[in-house]
């Protein structure tokens, strides 16, 4: 990619961006100026990324320059109206994203350097590129929140902020939207005088405009920064200068200042922590936190600023939100160092950044919330990644595409390409981040934390030296981290070879699955341990190497390191103690503590108390280990590691015995025990109590315990007035009723005693003397009520009426009604109670107690409710859609996905639908219809081009519903082919060439299309770029091909018409073919032709699985090739070349 | 604050007075009437003595009134004089002094008494002196301690000077208190929500009976996060009650809202707090001036373009 390379380097040297933004109802005008220092002679084209922007003019060194604007991701598959095959889509999408990938030197905007300047290029002089553009009603990239009330924009709390998934800066100004293109920035924002514009870098000054009604904020960022790390937030913010660090400024929306003060009072400690462990000062000269509504994600970090959801703010009365908010702050700050200051070389190096920031965030967790919390977190993360990988295949941290060939696709199990961040499913990306930090932890285990921190320090200090250098692009590359550079640093610092580790977890996807069992050989006094692996199931890999096994014997705890080898599954471990046991002797534990144990439960012949495989979680694995119930009980009671305790609890679910009951109850009562373990024990106890209902004696599980801990001494049925000073018992108090409600009696109903107990808790709840809010506690009591609900006994199809309402349910419903109504008068923090009430109502509906009806939820799902409430309501609607198979609701949800103002809500609807789908690919369902396929297809093909994340969500849902191949509900394609052949013969005739010309003229004469079109005074026959087109993927991307052909075959555009005043009012042809004015019907010869072609292709693929597409293409006969080319030409007029036309052609009819 | 007390006591006083006259109405009236009639007879005979044959009723009434006042006046003065000399029963000399004081020539009295044409008036009919209505006796009256002479008035009823339990026996049993508080709160909440539901738009869970379990309709708000994030006034109040030490952190706004709900003491506090708040704010402003944060700097005026 020689041309691209040159262009990359240029921007790094010196670039100043000026951009003025007027915030009102989503209008945004501006210009950017790039100063480029070409390092390669013959720079004749410059490629930039830009989406949605309307570009008025481009000048290079004051000379008007021609430019072409083409965005293949707007509509991924052109005129493939009947090609509803996800495999096909994914390939095309990946190709489209590649075609504008800034890392590969591509972009949507291609600027032709005027020929007058070519000579200059040879002499490597500075080029100044000036682009004037506007952004009208952007659908993505910038999000406007404008409350619909009276008052000025500032009074209404209107604000705007930049957002997006990965590199999305191109949505709001033309740039090189790559993490590896560093440059310095000068940013200017002109906003309403009542507003504050917060952006990256130092605020130099604020100046009124001449009419004194606006202000211009001038920012300067001297640290070289990549465009995706640039952000903007404008709003009538209240400003709080951090009392501990004056260079840190916090911004929040009006009226929230008291909350901001409280929530930010802790930030300086996080700063101190990171600066201390990294032995490096915070790299930027200032830091800004901005809290905004309708956030895209909870936390996003940009150079010297972070944008947070306003819902993270809380008052001093709120317990549950406090640690969550602090975690978010820590995450943001960790990403400031690794992610913003240090950027990445390429997408495949992303794991290093996510890994390091996640790892140091973990260190913060350990320090602040304790080792138990940290280990619990690690286990949680590990469990989730293991579950995901076993379910969907694998997560590959460091994808390598040696030749970019399809056959090398490292993740054939996935329905999306992992070559680009923008094609990843959101869940995959979340798992990716988890896995990255877990692998960092594995590296730490291998080389020690000290070395690890030294490596980080080294990276940071190199980067900060580089950042202070001016105009030396080769130095600036020190600010980009690469996998190889990182590994080299590790080996330099630690002198250790971590190659195998990297190969296993970074270069390969998947996790390890162990099955363990053991036998004790009394004669030899040896533990015969058998560790089997499953490496054939999807998402698993084979592990060879050391594994730690900890054996707790009577005489103490012993670590053994076993070697997992190719064919050995049996391992003999000599035991240290004889089975004969000394009754009086205390038993030493791993941590040196010595405890008394009641050993009567033990096997008389064996000295083994419990065995743990890989106790330190130093392998990304799932372990299924078999040991006797008493061993799990000992492990729960006496092992001090919370991970072991949690493992024991989940194992004990299989052993509903009085002994398990006792062990769990003891844990519950033990105050030294980690509160999360105790909470987990509650649920396990509920489960085993329900299993042993016939033999259960005494009051319902946990009731007497709860009474003892939280009720009055004199009247045990009344709970004490709330006092949440002790957080551990607060969490336990919240959890126990929820778990108790899961108890079931012999009739599989919740015992009456338990229900009454919970109702009493609600009745006597008294928070007047409490320093903290009880909203989460009350919400959990409602959750407890809904947990107690069991399916209604009734005759089928009976309409639910008030009269048939069960008496217990009536009581529950009364509480819910009262709570929900009280929320309207005295709303709780984050409306936790409303959320629980909505969930409870859905549970009652689902269990047939009250009529199933989505209308209540739909009203709560409307825009204008608090986001948590909306999501709870939407979840209920999704559930209703799934249970009642309602096409109407599904349509309603999908239209919300298209129209809702909040990107996060749209994203969540799609992910909820994918999680709880109305049907799946293997199911017959009345909902699976051609309409739905069309709707979803349009959504992912063109309806979501303004939001990468949303498009991937749509792809994900499509995959869940229809699988990779053609949806079964569509009519057979062959049939369509015949019909179309008959109808469309004329179109596909050889007359196509002249007609094409006609089309073209028509196109150029159509003023509506001029704006999107191209003004190219000269051809670029000499361009080297032609070679760098990725021929392998081209095949799949019409978008790219037509672009390509267009460039080659159309020498010039007649009459360089200036852009019209409103070039963006593109009235797109309804379908690609309508250009011919003949057939508005979407079924066409073209698509079928293509389909046919595709079949052919598929067929070949089957035969030779890894057939190279490139070759395949050449094997095609020339006629077919010609046809394909023709088709692409035809497609051209419909190309949504204007960034503005988000409304896709196919959607507009 | 003082006003209602005054009004209250006034009301109580009038109440007792009216009830007092009412209860003893007939005997005391009879007594009064009898004396009045005697006085009228006296006046009439004096008139006859003076040579009148007849008199208008109104004139007789006026004269009766005058004589009654005169006699009453004498009585009061006489009593004063006697009490002045630390006695309880007036003596002749007291009456004499009184008469002298009132400008009456005492020496003429014996002559007048012995005049010839004086008429003898029959004594007024014997009527029972009015029985002073028995005051409500609450509790045992204290007897005088030994150092107080018995002629001193008796102690008033105990309830006038000791704390009198006028409420019912308080319920001290914890369980019942909690029970009551809980059900009271629940009743209030239920009544309130029912009221709100009745007066506004509702949603319902059942199609057959939309009045059962009425839910106040969900209404979207323009700025939903404010309600969701800011603590309600009630919560702030509770926080204030449970922990006043944290008050410092709260804004003036909240303080004001507290004061509205509090009484007099709150008003005092406000007076104290306000200057404090003011000084705090100014201190903060000073501090912020010292902090050189670009966002706190003043906005610059646009440069006037000179070249043109």
Structure-model confidence comparison of residues A134 and B253, the more confident one: A134
Q: ipTM surpassing 0.85, yes or no? A: no
Contact A992, A1130 (CB under 8 A): yes
* Secondary element (H or E) of residue A782: helix A775-787
**A247 chain-B contacts, CB cut-off 8 A:** 293
Chain B: nearest CA to A246, how far in angstroms? 6
Task: Give pLDDT tens digits for B194-249.
Answer: 888 888 888 888 877 777 888 999 889 989 999 999 988 777 777 776 654 443 33
The confidence score (pLDDT) of residue A854 equals 93
User: How many whole angstroms separate alpha carbon B136 and alpha carbon A1090?
Assistant: 110
Does the beta-carbon distance from B229 to A770 stay under 8 Å?
Answer: no
B182 CA to chain A: closest CA distance, Å?
Answer: 5
Minimal C-alpha gap between B298 and chain A (Å): 8
Segments of chain A scoring below 70 in pLDDT: 1-29, 38-42, 79-82, 119-125, 402-410, 471-473, 579-584, 794-799, 972-1149
- Chain-centroid distance, C-alpha A16: 32
Q: Which long-range contacts does B296-300 make (Cβ < 8 Å, 24+ apart)? A: B296/A239, B296/A241, B297/A205, B297/A206, B299/A193, B299/A206, B299/A207, B299/A208, B299/A215, B300/A205, B300/A206, B300/A207, B300/A208
Rounded-to-integer distance, Cα A512 and Cα A539, Å: 8
Q: Which of A853, A789, A371 is nearest to A616 (CA)?
A: A371
Provide long-range contacts, Cβ within 8 A and 24+ apart, for A693-702: A693/A744, A693/A745, A693/A746, A694/A746, A695/A658, A699/A753, A700/A740, A700/A743, A700/A751, A700/A753, A700/A754, A700/A757, A701/A661, A701/A665, A701/A740, A701/A743, A702/A668, A702/A736, A702/A739, A702/A740
Burial environment of residue A840 by CB neighbours within 10 A (0 to 12, 13 to 18, 19 or more): buried
CA–CA min distance B155, chain A (Å): 46
- Kindly determine whether residue B182 and residue A813, on different chains, have CB atoms separated by under 8 Å: no
Q: Is there a contact between A261 and B208 if contact means CB atoms under 8 Å apart?
A: no
pLDDT score for A1013? 34
Q: Do residues A761 and A737 make contact, with C-beta atoms less than 8 angstroms apart?
A: yes
Q: Which of B218, B293, B297 sits opposite A859 (nearest CB)?
A: B218
Render pLDDT for A930-946 as a digit per residue (tens, 0 to 9).
Answer: 889 989 999 988 889 89
- With helix as H, strand as E and coil as C, how does A202-236 read? EEEEEEECCCCCEEEEEEEEEEEEEHHHCCEEEEC
Confidence (pLDDT) at A32: 77
For A11, A33, A41, A59, A287, the CA distances from A123, given in Å and listed in that order, are 17, 21, 7, 20, 40
Give Dmax over CA atoms of chain A in angstroms.
102
Helix, strand and coil in chain A, % to nearest 5: 45, 15, 40
Q: Which of B205, B220, B249 sits opposite A862 (nearest CB)?
A: B220
In terms of CA atoms, which chain B residue is nearest residue A201? Answer: B294
Nearest to B186 among A204, A763, A856 (CB): A763
State whether A818 and B186 contact (CB < 8 Å).
Answer: yes
CB A875 within 8 A of CB A913: no
Residue of A nearest to B287 (CA): A243
Q: Which of residues 182-201 of B touch A (CB under 8 A)?
A: 182-183, 186, 189-190, 192-193, 196-197
Q: pLDDT: is B2 or A825 the higher one? A: A825
Query: Per-residue pLDDT tens for A32-43?
Result: 777 777 666 667
C-alpha span between A913 and B222 (Å, rounded): 27
Q: Is A238 in a helix, a strand, or coil?
A: strand
Residue spans of beta strands (DSSP E) within A554-607? 556-564, 570-574, 587-588, 594-595
Dihedral through CA A741, CA A742, CA A743, CA A746, nearest 10? 120
E strand or H helix that includes residue A58: strand A54-60
Q: How far is A259 from chain B (nearest CA, A)?
A: 8
Residue A441 in tokens? 């932890």
The tokens describing A903, both together, are 């990107």
Alpha-carbon span B4 to A1149, nearest angstrom: 77
Q: How far is CA A385 from CA A378, A390, A507, A540, in A?
A: 11, 8, 16, 12
Task: Give the closest residue to A388 by CA, choosing from A620, A196, A101, A175.
Answer: A620
- Half-sphere exposure of residue A671, counting CA atoms within 13 Å on the CB side? 5
**B203 contacts in chain A (CB < 8 Å):** 855-856, 859
Contact A121, A115 (CB under 8 A): no
Residues of chain A in contact with residue B211, where contact means CB-CB under 8 angstroms, are: none
- Give the span between the Cα atoms of A937 and A958, in whole angstroms: 8
> By the 8 A CB rule, do A358 and A437 touch?
yes
> Dihedral of the CA atoms A832, A836, A838, A842 (nearest 10)?
160
Q: Of residues B132 and A277, which shows the higher confidence score?
A: A277
The CA distance from A914 to A881, in Å, is 12
* Interchain CB distance below 8 Å, B182 and A766: yes
A1148: left (phi over 0), alpha (psi -120 to 50) or beta: alpha
CB B128 within 8 A of CB B136: no
Name the pairing type of β-strands A202-208 and A196-199: unpaired
CA dihedral over A1136, A1138, A1139, A1141, signed as positive or negative: negative
How many secondary structure helices (H) and strands (E) does chain A include? Answer: 36, 30
């Amino acid at each position: 990619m020689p041309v691209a390379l040159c262009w990359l380097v240029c921007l790094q040297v010196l670039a100043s961006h000026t951009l003025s933004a007027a915030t009102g109802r989503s209008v945004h005008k501006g210009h950017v100026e790039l100063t480029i220092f070409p390092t390669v002679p013959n720079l004749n084209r410059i490629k930039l990324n830009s989406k949605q922007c309307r570009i008025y003019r481009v000048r290079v060194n004051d000379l008007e320059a021609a430019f072409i604007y083409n965005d293949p991701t707007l509509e991924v598959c052109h005129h493939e109206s009947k090609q509803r095959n996800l495999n096909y889509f994914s390939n095309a999408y990946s190709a489209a994203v590649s075609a504008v990938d800034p890392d590969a030197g591509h972009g949507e905007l291609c600027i032709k350097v005027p020929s007058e300047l070519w000579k200059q290029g040879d002499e490597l002089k500075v080029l100044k590129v000036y682009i004037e553009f506007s952004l009208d009603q952007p659908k993505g990239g910038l999000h406007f929140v404008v409350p619909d009330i009276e008052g000025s924009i500032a009074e209404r709390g209107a604000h705007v902020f930049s957002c997006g998934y990965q590199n999305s800066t191109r949505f709001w100004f033309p740039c090189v939207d790559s993490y590896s293109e560093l440059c310095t920035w000068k940013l200017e924002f002109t906003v309403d005088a009542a507003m504050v514009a917060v952006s990256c870098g130092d605020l130099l000054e604020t100046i009124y405009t001449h009419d004194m009604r606006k202000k211009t904020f001038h920012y300067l960022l001297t640290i070289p920064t990549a465009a995706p790390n640039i952000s903007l937030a404008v709003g009538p913010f209240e400003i709080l200068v951090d009392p501990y660090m004056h260079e840190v400024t916090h911004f929040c929306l009006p009226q929230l200042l008291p909350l901001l003060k409280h929530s930010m009072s802790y930030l300086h400690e996080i700063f101190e922590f990171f600066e201390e462990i990294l032995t490096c000062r915070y790299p930027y000269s200032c830091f800004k936190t901005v809290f905004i509504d309708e956030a895209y994600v909870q936390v996003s970090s940009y150079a010297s600023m972070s944008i947070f959801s306003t819902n993270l703010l809380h008052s001093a009365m709120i317990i549950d939100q406090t640690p969550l908010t602090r975690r978010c702050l820590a995450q943001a700050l960790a990403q400031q160092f690794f992610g913003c200051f240090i950027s990445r070389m390429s997408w495949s190096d992303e794991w290093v950044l996510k890994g390091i920031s996640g790892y140091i965030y973990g260190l913060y967790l350990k320090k602040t919330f304790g080792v138990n919390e940290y280990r619990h977190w690690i286990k949680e993360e590990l469990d989730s990644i293991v579950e995901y990988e076993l379910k969907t295949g694998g997560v590959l941290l460091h994808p390598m595409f040696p030749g970019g060939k399809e056959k090398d696709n490292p993740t054939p199990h996935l329905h999306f390409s992992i070559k680009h961040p923008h094609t990843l499913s959101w869940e995959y990306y979340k798992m990716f981040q988890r896995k990255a930090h877990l692998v960092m932890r594995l590296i730490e285990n291998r080389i020690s934390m000290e070395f690890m921190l030294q490596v980080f320090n080294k990276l940071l200090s190199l980067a900060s030296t580089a950042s202070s250098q001016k105009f030396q692009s080769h130095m600036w590359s020190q600010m980009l981290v690469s996998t190889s550079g990182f590994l080299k640093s590790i080996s330099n610092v630690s002198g250790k070879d971590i190659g195998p580790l990297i190969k296993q977890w970074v270069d390969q996807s998947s996790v390890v699955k162990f099955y363990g069992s053991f036998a004790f050989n009394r004669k030899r006094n040896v533990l015969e341990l058998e560790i089997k692996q499953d490496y054939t199931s999807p998402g698993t890999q084979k592990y060879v190497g050391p594994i730690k096994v900890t054996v707790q014997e009577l005489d103490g705890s012993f670590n053994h390191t076993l070697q997992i080898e190719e064919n050995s599954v049996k391992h003999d471990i000599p035991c240290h103690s004889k089975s004969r046991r000394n009754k009086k002797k205390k038993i030493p534990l791993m941590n040196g503590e010595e405890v008394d144990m009641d050993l009567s439960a033990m096997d008389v012949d064996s000295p083994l108390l419990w065995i743990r495989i890989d106790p330190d979680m130093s392998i990304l694995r799932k372990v299924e280990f078999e040991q006797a119930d008493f061993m799990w009980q000992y492990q729960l009671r006496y092992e001090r590691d919370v991970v072991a305790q949690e493992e024991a609890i989940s194992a004990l679910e299989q052993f509903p015995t009085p002994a398990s009951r006792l062990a769990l109850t003891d844990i519950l009562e033990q105050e030294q025990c980690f509160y999360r373990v105790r909470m987990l024990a509650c649920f396990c106890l509920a489960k085993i109590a329900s299993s042993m209902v016939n033999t259960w004696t005494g009051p319902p599980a946990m009731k007497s315990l709860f009474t003892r801990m939280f009720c009055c001494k004199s009247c045990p049925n009344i709970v004490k007035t709330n006092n949440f000073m002790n957080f551990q018992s607060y969490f336990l108090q919240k959890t126990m009723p929820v778990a108790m409600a899961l108890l079931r009696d012999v009739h599989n109903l919740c015992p009456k005693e338990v229900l009454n107990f919970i109702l009493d808790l609600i009745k006597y709840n008294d928070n007047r003397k409490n320093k903290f809010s009880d909203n989460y506690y009350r919400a959990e009591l409602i959750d407890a009520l809904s947990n107690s609900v069991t399916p209604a006994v009734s005759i089928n199809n009976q309409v639910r009426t008030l009269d048939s309402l069960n008496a217990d349910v009536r009581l529950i419903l009364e509480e819910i009604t009262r709570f929900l109504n009280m929320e309207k008068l005295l709303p709780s923090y984050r409306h936790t109670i409303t959320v629980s009430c909505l969930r409870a109502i859905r549970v009652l509906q689902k269990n047939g107690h009250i009529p199933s009806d989505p209308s209540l939820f739909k009203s709560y799902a409307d825009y204008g409710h608090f986001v948590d409430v909306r999501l709870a309501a939407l979840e209920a609607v999704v559930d209703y859609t799934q249970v009642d198979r309602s096409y109407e609701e599904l349509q309603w949800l999908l239209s919300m996905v298209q129209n809702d103002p909040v990107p996060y809500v749209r994203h969540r609807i799609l992910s909820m639908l994918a999680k709880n789908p109305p049907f799946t690919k293997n199911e017959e369902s009345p909902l699976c219809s051609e309409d739905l396929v069309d709707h979803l297809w349009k959504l992912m093909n063109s309806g979501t081009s303004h939001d990468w994340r949303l498009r991937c969500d749509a792809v994900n849902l499509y995959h869940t519903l229809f699988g990779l191949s053609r949806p079964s509900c569509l009519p057979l394609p062959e049939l369509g082919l015949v019909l179309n052949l008959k109808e469309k013969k004329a179109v596909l005739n050889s007359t196509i060439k002249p007609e094409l010309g006609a089309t073209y003229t028509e196109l150029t004469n159509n003023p509506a299309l001029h704006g999107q079109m191209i003004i190219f005074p000269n051809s670029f026959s000499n361009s080297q770029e032609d070679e760098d087109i990725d021929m392998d993927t081209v095949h799949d991307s019409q978008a790219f091909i037509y672009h390509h052909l267009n460039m080659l075959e159309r020498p010039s555009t007649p009459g360089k018409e200036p852009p019209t005043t409103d070039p963006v009012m593109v009235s797109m042809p309804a379908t690609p073919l309508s250009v011919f004015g003949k057939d508005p019907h979407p079924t066409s010869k073209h698509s079928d032709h293509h389909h046919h072609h595709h079949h052919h292709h598929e067929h070949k693929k089957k035969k030779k699985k890894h057939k190279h597409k490139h070759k395949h293409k050449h094997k095609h006969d020339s006629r077919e090739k010609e046809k394909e080319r023709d088709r692409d030409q035809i497609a051209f007029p419909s190309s949504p070349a204007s960034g503005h036309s988000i409304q896709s052609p196919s959607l507009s009819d | 604050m003082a006003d209602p007390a005054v009004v209250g006591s006034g009301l109580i006083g009038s109440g007792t007075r009216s009830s007092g006259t009412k209860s003893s109405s007939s005997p005391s009236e009879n007594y009064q009437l009898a004396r009045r009639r005697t006085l009228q007879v006296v006046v009439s005979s004096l008139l006859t003595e003076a040579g009148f044959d007849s008199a208008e009723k109104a004139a007789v009434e006026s004269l009766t009134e005058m004589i009654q006042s005169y006699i009453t006046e004498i009585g009061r003065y006489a009593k004063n004089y006697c009490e002045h000399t630390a006695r309880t029963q007036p003596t002749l000399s007291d009456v004499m002094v009184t008469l002298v004081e009132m400008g009456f020539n005492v020496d003429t009295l014996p002559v007048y008494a012995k005049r010839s044409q004086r008429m003898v008036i029959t004594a007024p009919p014997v009527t029972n002196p009015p029985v002073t209505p028995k005051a409500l006796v609450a509790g045992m009256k204290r007897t005088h301690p030994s150092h107080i002479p018995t002629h001193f008035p008796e102690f008033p009823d105990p309830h006038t000077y000791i704390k009198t339990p006028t409420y019912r026996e308080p319920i001290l049993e914890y369980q019942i208190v909690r029970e009551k508080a809980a059900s009271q709160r629940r009743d209030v909440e239920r009544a309130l929500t029912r009221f709100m539901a009745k007066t506004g738009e509702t949603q319902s869970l059942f199609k057959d009976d939309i009045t059962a379990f009425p839910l106040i309709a969900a209404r979207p708000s323009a700025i939903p996060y404010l309600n969701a994030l800011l603590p309600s006034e009630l919560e702030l109040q509770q926080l204030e009650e449970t922990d006043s030490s944290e008050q410092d952190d709260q804004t003036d706004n909240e303080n004001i809202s507290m004061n509205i709900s509090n009484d007099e003491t709150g008003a005092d506090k406000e007076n104290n707090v306000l200057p404090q708040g003011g000084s705090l704010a100014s201190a903060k402003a000073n501090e912020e001036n010292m902090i050189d944060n670009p966002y706190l700097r003043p906005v610059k005026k646009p440069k006037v373009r000179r070249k043109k």
